[in-house]
């Protein structure tokens, strides 16, 4: 199995380190020629969603990645990645529009509102969660499975082969969420 990690901006190196810990081959996607290489799943990291959207479009990666995801490529979006996958945003223009969720950007406030907690993740038990200027899901369609909540707010969900978390599992030592994505990608 090979996982591509969108590496335009954000926490892509940390996702790579997590995949290395799990013994999974991966590579960084920076330009259109990178997606000519075969890969079995895609990680869209946290970062600044507006900048990432702009860079996706300028690099020519937006449309081909959108088509690959629509065609069934498993994808895991963390924080800004979740924002980019959402159909609707509270306070912003959506990007890929591939997951039937509405997301509130910077829902927990600015950088000073960042925090760490642990919460139940469906099927994985208690998972450590790092939130940095994090969003959360305000509504989800009928085909979206809610995987985790913190203080009554949805922070992880899955729709088919699309997984999204408001938190950064790559910033902890716990490999459970990445392993969940790899098992999902294996189908």
| Catalytic (active site) residue 170 | yes
User: Which is the catalytic residue, given 14, 15, 26, 168?
Assistant: 168
Based on the number of CB atoms within 10 Å of its own CB, is 81 exposed (0-12), middle (13-18) or buried (19 or more)? buried
- DSSP assignment of 123-182 equals TTEEEEEEESS--EEEEE-TTPEEEEEETTEEEEEEETTEEEESS-GGGSS--HHHHHHH
| Catalytic (active site) residue 118 | no
The residue written with tokens 């950064």 in the block is 168
The answer to whether the beta carbons of residues 26 and 5 sit under 8 Å apart is: yes
User: Which is the catalytic residue, given 79, 95, 149, 178?
Assistant: 79
Handedness of CA 9, 13, 19, 24 (dihedral sign): positive
- The neighbour count for residue 109, using CB atoms within 10 Å, is 12
User: Which is the catalytic residue, given 14, 15, 170, 178?
Assistant: 170
Based on the number of CB atoms within 10 Å of its own CB, is 160 exposed (0-12), middle (13-18) or buried (19 or more)? middle
The answer to whether the beta carbons of residues 121 and 156 sit under 8 Å apart is: yes
| Catalytic (active site) residue 168 | yes
CA 140 – CA 175 distance, rounded (Å): 26
Active site residues: 79, 168, 170
């Amino acid at each position: 199995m090979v996982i591509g990690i969108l590496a335009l901006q954000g926490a892509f190196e940390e996702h790579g380190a997590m995949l290395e810990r799990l013994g999974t081959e991966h590579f960084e996607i920076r330009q259109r020629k990178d997606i000519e290489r075969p890969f079995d799943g895609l990680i869209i990291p946290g970062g600044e969603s507006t900048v990432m959207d702009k860079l996706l479009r300028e690099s020519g990666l937006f449309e081909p990645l959108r088509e690959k995801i629509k065609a069934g490529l498993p994808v895991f979006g963390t924080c800004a990645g979740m924002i980019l996958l959402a159909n609707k945003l509270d306070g912003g223009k959506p990007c890929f529009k591939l997951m039937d969720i509405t997301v509130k950007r910077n829902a927990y406030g600015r950088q000073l509102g960042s925090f760490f907690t642990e919460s139940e993740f469906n099927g994985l038990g208690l998972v450590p969660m790092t939130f940095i200027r994090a969003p959360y899901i305000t509504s989800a369609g009928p085909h979206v499975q809610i995987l985790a909540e913190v203080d009554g707010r949805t922070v992880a969900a899955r729709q088919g082969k699309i997984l999204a978390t408001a938190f950064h599992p790559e910033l902890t030592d716990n490999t459970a969420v990445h392993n969940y994505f790899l098992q999902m990608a294996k189908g």
